[in-house]
Amino acid sequence: MSTLLITGIGELTTNVTGLGDDPRDPTGLIRGAALAVVDGRVAWVGRGTEEPRLDAPQTGATPEVEVVDAGGRAILPGFVDSHTHLVFAGDRADEFEARMAGQPYAAGGIRRTVAATRAASDDELRARLAGLAAELYAQGTTTFEVKTGYDLTVEGEARLARLAREVTDEVTFLGAHVVPAEFVDDRAAYVDLVCGPMLAAVGPYVRWIDVFCERGAFTAEETRRILRGGAAAGLGTRLHGNQLGHGPGARIAAELGVFSLDHATYLHPDDVARLAEAGVVTTLLPGVEFSTRHPYPDARRLIDAGVTVALASDCNPGTSFTSSMPLMIALAVREMGMTVAEAVWAATAGGARALDRDDVGTLALGTRADLVMLDAPTRTHLAYRPGVPLVRAVYRGGELIV
Ligand code: NIG
Ligand code: FE
């Protein structure tokens, strides 16, 4: 049995309502806290002066306790990045540069990354994935989802899913990312391929299915067909929609009851009402608006309507080549009307909701001990000191990984 006791925590975000200094605070913030971890799980959370009560089974042996003094620093749950596209080759820095000089973003750019990814070996893709995963961990992310979608052939999508599965359990099949060049004259045949042989080939590796429902990508009818096919095969459903303009994504998300609608930048008031009523998590990806110069989504309007909001990086070479959850928090607070508490919740517990996980994103008895120690006294510094590497230590399952 291994026990880790962290004392001297300046403020601890637990995301457990009722546990914090203010019993109504959904982030369960405790000022002056301590926390114990036994065998990789949270075993005790207390106030600074309390003695730990470890409800561990009696083994007869004295447990080895490692004590870490946080020195007044803030600790929060590891970030849960519920939306990334980390399996790809090449980059599109030239496209970004042209966009900053006035070119608009178009979904078709995805095909360039598809060509580079198809040409890359397994080991090249593995090396890229490992590098990006290390980048995420170093910035405090302890759980992340990865989508396929940069090959768009049956064997190729299965290969990307298999490689993604080497770094995470949260793999999403995104064969419906864009219609590949070889099928532009027969879209229906491509949709058949996605719903049939491709879905079967990725099956062993994936938990989720996603569709890019947008002008230039997939239509409302194609989206419904693909998501229904995935659900029938036992996958959870999620949706890219309302990213580049108003469209049917939000309506379909509510109608099919997907786990998460992602992007949701362009929403009509009735879209917001539908998302709230259907209880669809809405995942906002402000790295995209940063890198495409679209207006930021209005998180305030969603939260005020009762929608559960998550934040994720959407790390991908086209629209958001950043893996930084602290940057998402800073953008959400500065540009999207979220309070610091809401943004931190959305980047941790919100991401966990978007992935239907209750073992991560909160620090409650029995959850996985995934936590980030900041080199700062409060979580507010994540937004207050944008661009500064504030992550001092990261624990995943109780193990120090950064
Ligand atoms: O989430 N929206 C669709 N997919 C990505 C963009 C992918 C790309 O441009 O390569 C996104 O923004
Ligand atoms: Fe995306």
- Tens of pLDDT, residue by residue over 271-280, are 999 999 999 9
Q: Are 283 and 261 in contact (CB under 8 A)?
A: yes
Closest CA to ligand 1's atom 12? 319
Query: What local confidence, expressed as pLDDT, does residue 62 receive?
Result: 62
Query: What spacing in Å lies between the alpha carbon of 200 and ligand 2's midpoint?
Result: 22
Query: What spacing in Å lies between the alpha carbon of 105 and ligand 1's midpoint?
Result: 10
The proportion of the chain whose per-residue pLDDT surpasses 90, expressed as a percent, equals 94
φ, ψ of residue 64 in degrees (nearest 5): -80, 120
Query: What spacing in Å lies between the alpha carbon of 233 and ligand 1's midpoint?
Result: 25
> What is the arithmetic mean of pLDDT over 254-264?
98
Confidence band (pLDDT; 50, 70, 90) for 58? low
Question: What span, in angstroms and rounded, lies between the C-alpha atoms of 135 and 326?
Answer: 12
Between helix 154-165 and helix 122-138 the angle, nearest 10°, is 40
Confidence band (pLDDT; 50, 70, 90) for 61? low
φ, ψ of residue 4 in degrees (nearest 5): -120, 130
Task: Write down the pTM of the prediction.
Answer: 0.97
Q: Which of 91, 99, 152, 177 to mutate to test the pocket of ligand 1 (most atoms within 8 A of CB)?
A: 177
pLDDT at 350 over 70: yes
Tokens for 16, please give them.
Answer: 């457990």
Q: What region, left, alpha or beta, does residue 234 occupy, with left being phi > 0 and alpha being psi -120 to 50 degrees?
A: left
Q: Are 227 and 256 in contact (CB under 8 A)?
A: yes
Q: Are 240 and 215 in contact (CB under 8 A)?
A: no
Q: CA distances (Å), 160 to each of 59, 126, 335, in order? A: 44, 10, 34
Query: What spacing in Å lies between the alpha carbon of 355 and ligand 2's midpoint?
Result: 15
Closest CA to ligand 1's atom 7? 318
Closest CA to ligand 1's atom 3? 212
pLDDT at 360 over 60: yes
Query: What local confidence, expressed as pLDDT, does residue 55 receive?
Result: 58
pLDDT tens digits along 127-143: 999 999 999 999 999 99
φ, ψ of residue 363 in degrees (nearest 5): -115, 85
Tell me what the pLDDT averaged over the chain comes to: 96
Parallel, antiparallel, or unpaired for β 399-400 and 391-396? antiparallel
Query: What spacing in Å lies between the alpha carbon of 107 and ligand 1's midpoint?
Result: 7
Closest CA to ligand 1's atom 11? 319
Query: What spacing in Å lies between the alpha carbon of 14 and ligand 1's midpoint?
Result: 32
Atom of ligand 1 nearest to the CA of 262: 1
Q: Are 12 and 23 in contact (CB under 8 A)?
A: no
- First-to-last C-alpha distance (Å) of the chain: 22
Tokens for 108, please give them.
Answer: 């078709």
Atom of ligand 1 nearest to the CA of 243: 2
Atom of ligand 1 nearest to the CA of 92: 10
- Strand-pairing partners, residue 202, are none
pLDDT at 333 over 60: yes
Angle, alpha carbons 383-386-391 (nearest 5°): 85
- Strand-pairing partners, residue 77, are 371
Query: What spacing in Å lies between the alpha carbon of 316 and ligand 2's midpoint?
Result: 7
Q: Which of 172, 212, 288 to mutate to test the pocket of ligand 1 (most atoms within 8 A of CB)?
A: 212
Task: Name, in order, each residue with C-beta under 8 angstroms of 399's C-beta and a sequence gap of 6 or more.
Answer: 40
Around ligand 1, the residues with Cβ closer than 6 Å are 85, 109-110, 113, 212, 240, 243, 288, 314, 316-319
pLDDT at 1 over 80: no
Confidence band (pLDDT; 50, 70, 90) for 106? confident
Query: What local confidence, expressed as pLDDT, does residue 107 receive?
Result: 78
Question: What span, in angstroms and rounded, lies between the C-alpha atoms of 169 and 146?
Answer: 9
Q: CA distances (Å), 95 to each of 1, 105, 206, in order? A: 52, 8, 30
Tokens for 228, please give them.
Answer: 């229904």
Between helix 110-118 and helix 154-165 the angle, nearest 10°, is 80
Burial level of 24, CB count in 10 A (0-12/13-18/19+)?
A: exposed
Parallel, antiparallel, or unpaired for β 281-284 and 260-263? parallel
Q: CA distances (Å), 87 to each of 125, 151, 291, 303, 320, in order? A: 6, 10, 19, 32, 14
Closest CA to ligand 1's atom 1? 314
Taking the C-alpha atoms of 349, 174, 225 and 288 in order, what is their torsion angle to the nearest 10 degrees?
A: 60
